[in-house]
Chains A and B, each alone.
Chain A
Amino acid sequence: NAGVMQNPRHLVRRRGQEARLRCSPMKGHSHVYWYRQLPEEGLKFMVYLQKENIIDESGMPKERFSAEFPKEGPSILRIQQVVRGDSAAYFCASSPRMVSDEQYFGPGTRLTVT
């Protein structure tokens, strides 16, 4: 059973470009979470999705950021018109049931905006 997969592992974008981060949850997991981590800081919750539904997006910036988890395929975190402050590690996690279950994390995508 493969773990949570994220790609790309590293992504470099110039200011103003779009960043698309992908996450494939563990097999059988229908709950996906995205977190952002700045250097030397803990993880900050961004969004919680189930298949085709956004359950909680209270941690998502109001502009430029969007997330989806379609019926088929990976979950996508999309950042439009990236700025330097978007540079961070973005982690995806999945769980088989509700948010209070333990979560299984992917290796993360390190986004660098130049």
Chain B
Amino acid sequence: SQQGEEDPQALSIQEGENATMNCSYKTSINNLQWYRQNSGRGLVHLILIRSNEREKHSGRLRVTLDTSKKSSSLLITASRAADTASYFCASPTDKLIFGTGTRLQVFP
């Protein structure tokens, strides 16, 4: 069964705008990870947030985690056309379970 579910499924924005993607998961976790996948490529790890953290930043990325709601959000600020990709959350239980992804398109 799917552990993570991203929302929205697809998102289109203009360059310079912010993009927010949400992820909900089902079971208890010790961390939650976000990955990016460019079309036809493998996944690239973006950021890992531990269960005792509420917010984490990495460059233009900001991730929040609410363990009481079993949800996380990924915010990309000042988006660029190069941010166009699919974004997945993944939560490790006894295996790493990926959500269905959010397809982000950033128009120049």
Is B31 located at the chain interface by the 8 A CB criterion?
Answer: yes
A108 CB, min distance to chain B CBs, angstroms: 5
- Verify A58–B33 contact, CB threshold 8 A: no
- Verify A41–B100 contact, CB threshold 8 A: yes
Residue of B nearest to A6 (CB): B42
A106 CB, min distance to chain B CBs, angstroms: 5
CA distance A17 to B97 in the complex (A): 30
- Verify B95–A42 contact, CB threshold 8 A: no
**Contact among A42, A48, A59 for B88, CB-based, below 8 A:** A42
Residue of B nearest to A58 (CB): B95
Among B31, B45, B96, B100, the most chain A Cβ lie within 10 Å of the Cβ of: B96
Q: How many residues of A contact B (CB 8 A)?
A: 23
Is B30 located at the chain interface by the 8 A CB criterion?
Answer: yes
CA distance A91 to B37 in the complex (A): 12
CA distance A44 to B101 in the complex (A): 12
Which residues of chain B in 31-59 are interfacial with respect to chain A, using CB atoms and an 8 Å cutoff?
Answer: 31, 33, 35, 41-45, 48
Which residues of chain B in 83-101 are interfacial with respect to chain A, using CB atoms and an 8 Å cutoff?
Answer: 88, 92, 94-101
- Verify B96–A91 contact, CB threshold 8 A: no
10 closest cross-chain pairs (CB), A and B: A105-B42, A100-B92, A105-B43, A42-B98, A43-B98, A102-B45, A42-B100, A107-B42, A45-B95, A42-B101
